[in-house]
Structure 1
């Protein structure tokens, strides 16, 4: 249910509506608008990178995943609602609120992921992760559908984007706040405080624990290798997520309604992809599943780059949807396989660090190329897509069985 709740944020704010609004209305379609958007996201991800591993270590030591998840959820909901006040020319206000709301979202994403190994057997991590991610895309679909209904009504009344887009931010915040309630009512914190460490100063203890893990990182070589792989292929994914609506409008000439309909359909195919591949992953294997999705991503990039008609672009977008759900779910499950039982939040903090680093690398690459090429979004998409190929090459050197054995090692024991 938390996957259902928080997916509306990424779908409406990052992927479908506010990003295009930021470039077209807030930045007034200036050449630097796309770069300003990607740079704002980059700052939020840098903040997450600086805090995620220590936050995860703290959550493990004190068994505080659920409480910290509540704090990050409140922060994300609050600052998403405050985006209502962003209008034409309010560049710095938009940047500030996007940095804060995305920081809280990303921190919460790491914490909820760390619950996965507590909720599923090791031989069912892919399946359960796929269920959650599939339901998440249904949540994104629901929030975007509510936003589309409002946008359609508002446009029928003759309203402009600066009138109806801010209201979609309130819709998104409200649905997130309501849909996450079951999580905080029923989800149990099954981890226990690690009492032998609680005498330390909280922050110092968390960083000391993280330092100890890094000192023994050579024991987790397959986890490290996969995290490096993740940085590269997620760079491509994060660029698509953050810039899909911008590409659709700037390169393909889509309007707001077309873009929302496109993302609605992509959410359906993403849910299908997460569900199907989640069930296949535990049988087919984690690495082969991820490899298949990366090949799909490469095909999608080439189709989007070549697309002259909307039909080809719609095909590319739906291939992206199938691969998106599958690759995101599969990566979360594989990190669960590689994580020692006493350090799950900490290791998922490292997973979050890798994803957030990729969230800087991919969108910034796209933004810089589009800026330097004076708005050539096709070239930006093609160059950013090269990250999928690099990720595929690195993935071939990940040994799941060896990584699973390494997870039995705990530096504290």
Structure 2
């Protein structure tokens, strides 16, 4: 069956037109508002300060831990199920249908977060978990289209364009939210009372901006003859087991996934908790946080675009090494920052590093993945990302709780992830990993 997959996919590679490439990249534009508003800026700080904060009588350290647990448990669910979803998408050639369902789920759960008020932290935790699971499925599924759209030598560039456009989407969503909060304050409505409206804005932009993806992105894979029911899941698990059994042939992919699990834990901690750090330590209010993250999104978009060009020239692994060095410098600066002006400088450096590291990670996994198993191998990429969102924020949250809310001490655990990730990266051989991906797997279970 995989010979059929390979022939079909090789025929399709490079044939995606400009409109379809834009439609693929536009999904990053669409779903980035969820990350910036719910996970990074507005709802995360609202949850810690208001939902689980003063009204519920929860200490700041415990409120931060509850937020970290919500995000961590959601990603634990995804970590267990993402490879199966990827294998299922390959077997039935239904990446686009699954992407639609996950998108609808994330949009609906985001809108329902508008119902969460002071003291409603159990409801908030459930909705955050559900929306995070749906978001993660969508992120994995859209990434699995990448090897079908362009040849290997252009994956880095297209991935960079997607991440860059994603930061533009996050920036635009935050801009609308900032306008709404500013207008609400002029009408006598507090920042906390305006938060539900920002969640509805985020859900609406996600739904609207995702339409080009579902109108123009094509499903090129060919479904197998495996019937619906338990046989389908058995075949999906069988393909996944076979991929894991063949892991020795993809040692650079596996080593990079370990490396990515480490440094991405640091990235995840920054994404989920940076706004909380800026609010609790540096005294930023909601409007200042939104402006800060908007500026970071601009620099992150620039970083993603530059990274896409750079890795196609010097290679993905050297580009990632440069990015990790930038991350280390940025977090050292954040640790010693005393004035709010320092956070503006650190934030922009973080933006450059964030856009670069995320773009290069997706592209490198795609280069190390056999084309006919893209769903499964990008599912493993998603699994590692989910593991990092468990380990990074949870380590930060636990240290913060045990230290009585000491965010600077928590930041040191985040810095350690980047240092260790840089050391592990030196064992990844990019050329050897690409060569292994170009040889089809043998003895396929399908």
Superposition TM-score, scaled by structure 1 size? 0.98
The answer to whether the 8 Å contact 1:61/1:198 transfers is no
Moved over 6 A (4+): none
SS at match of 2:235: helix
Q: Whole-Å Cα distance in 2 between the matches of residues 282 and 81 of structure 1?
A: 39
Q: CA deviation at 1:158?
A: 2.0
SS at match of 2:53: coil
Aligned counterpart for 2:440 among listed residues 399, 409, 412: 409
1:341 has 2:371 as partner: yes
Q: What residue number does 1:326 align with?
A: 356
Q: CA deviation at 1:346?
A: 0.7
Kindly tell me the number of residue pairs found equivalent between the two proteins.
412
1:304 has 2:334 as partner: yes
Q: How does 1:229-244 map to 2 (within 5 A)?
A: 229-244=259-274
Q: Whole-Å Cα distance in 2 between the matches of residues 382 and 258 of structure 1?
A: 25
1:25 has 2:56 as partner: no
Q: Whole-Å Cα distance in 2 between the matches of residues 198 and 345 of structure 1?
A: 19
Please list the CA deviations of residues 29-49 of structure 1 after superposition, one character each: whole Å capped at 9, or x if unmatched: 523000000000011001101
Please list the CA deviations of residues 184-223 of structure 1 after superposition, one character each: whole Å capped at 9, or x if unmatched: 000001111234x558711111111111111111111000
Q: What residue number does 1:248 align with?
A: 278
Q: CA deviation at 1:412?
A: 4.0
Q: What residue number does 1:10 align with?
A: 35
Q: What residue number does 1:388 align with?
A: 418
Q: What residue number does 2:96 align with?
A: 66
Q: Whole-Å Cα distance in 2 between the matches of residues 251 and 283 of structure 1?
A: 40
Q: What residue number does 2:82 align with?
A: 52
Q: Whole-Å Cα distance in 2 between the matches of residues 194 and 11 of structure 1?
A: 38
Aligned counterpart for 2:395 among listed residues 365, 368, 393: 365
1:167 has 2:197 as partner: yes
Q: Whole-Å Cα distance in 1 between the matches of residues 170 and 103 of structure 2?
A: 16
Please list the CA deviations of residues 65-115 of structure 1 after superposition, one character each: whole Å capped at 9, or x if unmatched: 000000000000000000010000001100110000000000110000111
Q: CA deviation at 1:409?
A: 3.0
Aligned counterpart for 2:67 among listed residues 37, 45, 48: 37
Single out whichever of 261-270 and 22-31 deviates more from structure 2. Answer: 22-31
Q: What residue number does 1:208 align with?
A: 238
Q: Whole-Å Cα distance in 1 between the matches of residues 187 and 411 of structure 2?
A: 36
Q: CA deviation at 1:62?
A: 1.0
Q: How does 1:281-320 map to 2 (within 5 A)?
A: 281-320=311-350
Over the aligned positions, Cα root-mean-square deviation in angstroms equals 1.1
Q: Which residues of structure 1 form unaligned runs of 5+? A: none
Please list the CA deviations of residues 318-370 of structure 1 after superposition, one character each: whole Å capped at 9, or x if unmatched: 11100111110000000110001110011000000001000000000110111
Q: What residue number does 1:95 align with?
A: 125
Q: Which residues of structure 2 form unaligned runs of 5+? A: 1-25
